[in-house]
Amino acid sequence: MLRDSYDIIRRLQQEGFERISSKGSHHKFRHRTSKRTVIVPHPRRDIARGTVISIYRQAGWSKD
């Protein structure tokens, strides 16, 4: 499971998510076709496990 915000953002962008806004340290991404919305705290090297699980749910990913 990815815990670094840079790695999470890279994976989101590879899977078709685009950054639509940011406010403070939080970036909002939306998928081009499915319209899923994901909010990622950035920059963070070590995101809390519960936050990572929430990001995975928002993105529709399984815990790998």
User: How many angstroms separate the Cα of 61 from the Cα of each of 23, 24, 57?
Assistant: 24, 25, 6
Output the pLDDT for position 64: 64
Q: What is the pLDDT of residues 31-55, one digit of tens each?
A: 999 999 999 998 888 999 999 999 9
* pTM (predicted TM-score): 0.90
Walk across the sheet containing 26-31 and list its strands. 17-23, 26-31, 37-41
- pLDDT band of residue 23 (cuts 50, 70, 90) is very high
